[in-house]
């Protein structure tokens, strides 16, 4: 999933020292293991399960875990040291170069879906780091959004939305750079509204949610592209995952200001959430209940007078809340849901 972080806008020195990162599946690490994976060059016996950095560190710890009365063979230790030096050397990666190569692949219309997916997977190794995310934008990486979101392959559309979500989450720099291009946000909104694959629509709304959270200016720009209609329609969707994404977006953004909460109230969000709550025992997985109850409580806190008026007009809302409360087992796993209902009824004075 589904924080605050700063983003540096200063220029990046792409000649900076290389960083140590895990290799892709075809890494040359495996080339250092010979004789069916049982012995490395230099005559060192190595277990066949040593395939990545974590395995290497575990193996090195085991090799040095000797008793006090053990006699250490210094020659053998030198061989082991050389082995690990070679392995770590093979795992040195130039992150900017890796990202640049992936961008070029993703901009190549002749690449297969598998090649495009692999390029996305490479990017995913780095862009959750805010500095690398900013470097990605400076390398021209945002150019991949339009062909990616328009791709005929659903996996590519999904992965493009995932990349957007990762880049912009808790990253004001990338949020601002993304919203500067109206074509990006329009295409993402169109994807959510019109794509025939539900998974793509859900990934797209997740990207929108990551884009607008904790950034009031970007949120209102999104609303300017008819974003509020998108959120309301998603909340009314029969697709449970899409509806939950919309509820989370409402919960996380109404906290950013009373004007935002009032906008949601104006557009019928309270009535929709009340309806969902009254029927969710039979229509929604239990683990989603707390989010819907918390969202209504949050709107009530941000706009108490108006939300109370609306809830009072909802027929049988109090009996529905009591029935929902009593339907939960006497189990600590459901205590949060019960507490939300008690808080809601107390604040509504019902």
pLDDT digits (tens, 9 = 90+) for 281-296: 888 899 999 999 999 9
Please report, to the nearest 10 degrees, the dihedral formed by the alpha carbons of residues 35, 37, 42, 46 taken in order: -140
Give yes or no for residue 151 having a pLDDT over 60. yes
d(CA 212, CA 208): 6
Task: Name the phi and psi angles at 61, rounded to 5.
Answer: -65, -45
Burial (CB < 10 A; 0-12, 13-18, 19+), residue 179, is: buried
d(CA 135, CA 6): 14
- Beta strands 19-20 and 44-45: pairing type? unpaired
Cβ count near 312 (within 10 Å): 12
Per the CB < 8 A criterion, the answer to whether 59 and 49 are in contact is no
Per the CB < 8 A criterion, the answer to whether 181 and 142 are in contact is yes
d(CA 33, CA 29): 7
Average pLDDT for residues 113-130, to the nearest whole number? 96
The model's confidence at residue 93, banded by pLDDT at 50, 70 and 90, is confident
d(CA 96, CA 135): 7
Q: Say which range, 62-71, 83-92, 217-226, 304-313, has the weakest mean pLDDT.
A: 62-71
pLDDT, residue 65, reads 56
The partner residues of 36 in beta bridges, in order of sequence, read none
**Cα 243 from chain centre:** 17
Please give the model's pTM, rounded to 2 decimal places: 0.75
The model's confidence at residue 216, banded by pLDDT at 50, 70 and 90, is very high
Q: H helices of the chain, where?
A: 53-64, 74-90, 95-106, 113-124, 130-138, 145-149, 154-168, 172-179, 182-194, 198-212, 216-224, 227-235, 240-254, 258-266, 269-283, 289-302, 304-313, 317-327, 335-348
State pLDDT tens for residues 220-273: 999 999 999 999 999 999 999 999 999 999 999 999 999 999 999 999 999 999
Q: What percent of the chain has pLDDT over 90?
A: 71
Q: Say which range, 69-78, 173-182, 262-271, 305-314, has the weakest mean pLDDT.
A: 69-78
The model's confidence at residue 201, banded by pLDDT at 50, 70 and 90, is very high
Q: Which residues contact residue 272 at a Cβ distance below 8 angstroms, ignoring those fewer than 6 apart?
A: 232, 235, 236
Q: Is the dihedral of CA 108, 113, 115, 117 positive or negative?
A: positive
pLDDT, residue 218, reads 98
């Amino acid at each position: 999933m589904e924080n605050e972080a700063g983003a540096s806008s200063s220029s990046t020195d792409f000649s900076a020292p290389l960083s140590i990162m895990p290799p892709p599946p075809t890494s040359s690490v495996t080339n250092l293991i010979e004789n069916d994976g049982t012995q490395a060059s230099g005559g060192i016996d190595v277990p066949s399960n040593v395939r990545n950095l974590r395995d290497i560190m575990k193996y090195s710890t085991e090799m040095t875990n000797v008793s006090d009365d053990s006699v250490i063979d210094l020659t053998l230790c030198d061989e082991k040291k050389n082995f690990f030096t070679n392995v770590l050397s093979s795992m040195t990666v130039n992150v900017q170069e890796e990202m640049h190569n992936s961008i070029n692949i993703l901009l190549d219309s002749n690449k297969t879906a598998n090649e495009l997916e692999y390029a996305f997977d490479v990017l995913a190794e780095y862009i959750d780091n805010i500095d690398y995310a900013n470097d990605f934008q400076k390398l021209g990486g945002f150019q991949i959004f339009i062909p990616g979101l328009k791709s005929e392959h659903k996996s590519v559309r999904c992965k493009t939305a995932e990349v957007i979500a990762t880049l912009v989450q808790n990253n004001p720099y990338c949020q601002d750079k993304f919203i500067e291009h109206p074509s990006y946000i329009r295409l993402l909104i169109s994807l959510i509204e019109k794509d025939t694959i539900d998974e793509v629509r859900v990934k797209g709304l997740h990207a929108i949610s990551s884009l607008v959270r904790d950034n009031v200016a970007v949120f209102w720009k999104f609303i300017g592209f008819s974003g509020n209609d998108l959120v309301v329609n998603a909340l009314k969707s029969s697709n449970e995952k899409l509806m939950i994404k919309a509820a989370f977006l409402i919960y996380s953004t109404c906290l950013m200001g009373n004007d935002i909460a009032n906008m949601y109230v104006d557009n019928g969000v309270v009535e929709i959430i009340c309806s969902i709550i009254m029927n969710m025992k039979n229509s929604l997985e239990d683990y989603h209940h707390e989010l819907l109850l918390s969202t209504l409580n949050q709107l009530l806190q941000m706009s108490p007078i108006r939300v109370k008026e609306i809830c009072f007009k909802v027929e049988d809302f109090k009996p529905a809340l009591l029935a929902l409360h009593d339907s939960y087992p006497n189990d600590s796993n459901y205590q949060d849901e019960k507490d939300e209902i008690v808080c809601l009824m107390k604040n509504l004075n019902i």
